[in-house]
Amino acid sequence: TKIDSYDFIVVGGGTAGCVAAGRLSENGKFNVLLLEAGGVPIDDMDIPAFAPTFQVDPEWTFQYKSVPQTNASLAYNGIVNIPLGRVLGGTSSLNYMFFNRGSPKDFDNWARIADDPSWNYSNMLQHFKKSEDYAGEFPPTDQHGIGGPILITNQSYAPGLETWLEAGIALNYSVADPNGPQKISFTPIEYNKRAGRRISSYTAFIKPFENSRSNLKVVTRAYATELVMEGNKAVGVKYNNSNNEIISVYATKEVIVSAGAYGSPMLLMKSGIGPKEVLESSGIPLIKELPVGNNLQDHPIVPIQLIINNKSLLFDPVRDLTPENLELYQREGVGPYTTTAGLFAQAYVASTVATAEGEEDWADIQFSMYAQTFLTGLPDVNLGSWEAPIFAYPYLGRQKSRGTVKLDPTNINNQPLIDFNFLSDPRDFQITIDSIQMTMKIMEETVPYRFLGARYPPVPLTVCQHLHFRSEEYWECYVKQMLVGGNHPVGTCKMGVSTDPEAVVDSKLRVIGIDGLRVVDASIMPVITNANVQAAIFAIGEKGADEILKEWDR
Ligand SMILES: Cc1cc2nc3c(=O)[nH]c(=O)nc-3n(C[C@H](O)[C@H](O)[C@H](O)COP(=O)(O)OP(=O)(O)OC[C@H]3O[C@@H](n4cnc5c(N)ncnc54)[C@H](O)[C@@H]3O)c2cc1C
């Protein structure tokens, strides 16, 4: 094992890690090493319709499971499935590619928590814009970036979209730009795609430069096992390579941890940075006590299955993913292969909880409409041959409950113990029930959906059938059974001021009390954004790199 030294080592070539390594190596002044646990994505991963297959393939993912939840996912014994990208590009190499930033209020709140105005929306806008090349359907404005590496486009094949937007208008909502400042609104979905193919953080920020930048080295199949510490300073990384050897590499300037909301807290804790009792129970000597792994947040979803009487309006994988359509896709980049699971439409609305807390203009529910589900356990309904199921997936957009990620004391190399603590805050129940009532209103009371005969099938969940069907008590029972994880884990290395008992990094993303170490990924979010999180994570990558360069490129 030879001694290798770089200016910067980025651990984790995922969504934020590829942005950070790409930007840090851009001016040619610094030697950058990017370590990634997984391999190089294959071209088929860029085909949207194949995403659901890759999301469950252990070759390209970590497949974690939560500890049993007491209030949620009871239809699945309380266990939440947690797929994560283990590949260059990380989860951006296999996610659904929804691209939407979140509310300006989300970022203004971060700025307040971190006591640093550079995190407010008006300043974060430059970081969003830097990544983007906006080609969506809303007119170009100073809110959109042009010329960045991530092309943002609308979905040309979106059969259920018009009905959804018309229903929103019927309920007096506006139709707004998902990548402008978020409003209470109904919106189409925009995606990071070019000619119907995925753009991941790897294909945008690393792949084009991998051979031309001699100062950028990418090592795949490199699983970091611990940081090399000299007292309170991070000076390098130990990793397990593809031959199962432990290799040590050194950073003369900084180590940047971008291993995601589970990987980053795990690596810090394994290296002696974390809660005292967690480290003690694993026999790891404590270097710095910090609340690493607390503050876990997600966007839990309660899936609701409805029925409409027009099959042609929906994506049906069996009917639509044909060899002819694959040929069409390969020739022209259009048609059903450009969609991931038939997701077309969304809305941002405020619950009664947001309204009661004076936040009626800050959405806390995000709806997504799916034309397909991967879930079992929903009530069994009989469909007529002319009928089609559709699925409303309201997300709890700004959940109040907080969970934890801890090392497994029986073996720190196992997946961590992940407890979402879903619905531990009673306000989350109320928001979820509001989102169900709202779904019924959209489907049963608006002309566009009534025209389609939209209906909620009168089939109760067996375990809830003793309760009056569709009463609040019934829905509470339904939610406990059916609420699942939203695949948007964030918050486990919280950004905050040094007096904040939950803070792990400061507003420049430096680990508090440790030199030479930052965290740059989903973990740093103090509070989750009410939007699919990747756009904000790309922006965290941009801002993190910007802060690092400000310090070292003077
Ligand atoms: C099924 C699914 C669908 C989703 N759909 C959407 C969507 O449509 N829109 C959206 O906005 N968001 C979506 N998300 C969420 C979003 O993609 C993720 O939140 C985001 O990509 C996470 O970014 P990250 O940089 O924090 O972590 P990741 O992108 O997960 O990157 C972490 C990287 O670190 C590597 N790593 C971990 N540990 C180590 C280690 N010890 N050593 C070396 N490398 C390590 C991993 O292999 C990985 O490459 C989805 C997520 C899932 C799972």
pLDDT in tens, 417-443: 999 999 999 999 999 999 999 999 999
* Ligand 1 centroid – CA 131 distance (Å): 17
How many whole angstroms from 345 Cα to the centroid of ligand 1? 23
Q: How many CA atoms lie within 13 A of 408 on its CB side?
A: 14
Between the CA of 117 and the centroid of ligand 1 the distance, in Å, is 27
**pLDDT of 10 strictly over 90:** yes
The finding on whether 540 has its CB within 6 A of some atom of ligand 1 is no
pLDDT bin (cut points 50, 70, 90) of residue 340 is confident
pLDDT given for residue 148 in this prediction: 97
Distance in Å, CA 496 to ligand 1 centroid: 22
CA distance 85 to 259: 10
Look at residue 2 and tell me whether its pLDDT is greater than 60: no
**pLDDT tens-digit series, residues 140-187:** 789 999 999 999 999 888 888 999 999 999 999 999 999 999 999 999
338 has pLDDT over 90: yes
Question: Is any ligand 1 atom within 6 A of the Cβ of residue 18?
Answer: no
pLDDT tens readout for residues 33-48: 999 999 999 999 999 9
CB 179 within 8 A of CB 134: yes
The 10s digit of each residue's pLDDT in 516-534 is 999 999 999 999 999 999 9
pLDDT at 204 over 50: yes
| DSSP-assigned beta bridge partners for residue 510 | 518
Averaged over 296-323, what is the pLDDT? 89
Gap between the Cα atoms of 237 and 229, Å rounded: 9
Check if 41 has its Cβ closer than 6 Å to any atom of ligand 1.
no
Among protein residues, the one with the nearest Cα to ligand 1's atom 41 is 224
CA separation for the pair 195, 185 (Å, rounded): 27
Rounded distance, CA 67 to CA 327, Å?
Answer: 44
Residue 378 in this model has a pLDDT that exceeds 80: no
pLDDT tens profile 379-429 = 777 777 778 888 899 999 999 999 999 999 999 999 999 999 999 999 999
**pLDDT band at residue 299 using 50, 70 and 90 as cut-offs:** very high
What tens digit of pLDDT does each residue of 491-514 get?
999 999 999 999 999 999 999 999
Average pLDDT over residues 338-344: 81
Cβ–ligand 1 distance for 206 under 6 Å, the answer no
Q: Name which residue sits closest to atom 45 of ligand 1, judged by CA.
A: 12
**Per-residue pLDDT at 374:** 61
Residue 389: predicted pLDDT = 84
CA-closest residue to ligand 1 atom 1:
95
**What b/e sequence results for 185-213 when a residue is b if at least 16 CB atoms lie within 10 Å of its CB, and e otherwise?**
bbbbbbbbbbebbbbbbbbbbbbeeeeeb
* Ligand 1 probe mutation, 91, 414, 415, most atoms within 8 A of CB: 91
Query: Which residue out of 100, 505, 534 has the highest number of ligand 1 atoms within 8 Å of its CB and is therefore the one to mutate?
Result: 534
Mutate to test the pocket of ligand 1, among 9, 11, 15 (most ligand atoms within 8 A of CB): 15
Q: What are phi and psi of 423, to 5 degrees?
A: 65, 25
Q: Is the CB of 11 under 6 A from ligand 1?
A: yes
Q: Is 80 exceeded by the pLDDT of residue 220?
A: yes
Q: Where are the domains positioned within the chain?
A: 4-552
Distance 144 CA to ligand 1 centre (A): 24
Q: Tell me whether residue 164 is exposed, middle or buried, using C-beta atoms within 10 angstroms of its C-beta: 0 to 12, 13 to 18, 19 or more.
A: buried
Residue 13 clears pLDDT 80, i.e. is over it: yes
Tell how far the Cα of 192 is from the centroid of ligand 1, in angstroms. Answer: 15
The pLDDT of residue 1 is above 70: no
Find the mean pLDDT for residues 4-29: 97
Grade residue 139 by pLDDT with cuts at 50, 70 and 90.
confident
4-552, CATH topology level:
FAD/NAD(P)-binding domain (3.50.50)
- The pLDDT value recorded for residue 311 is 78
The single-letter DSSP state of residue 549 is H
* 50 within ligand 1 shell (Cβ under 6 A): no
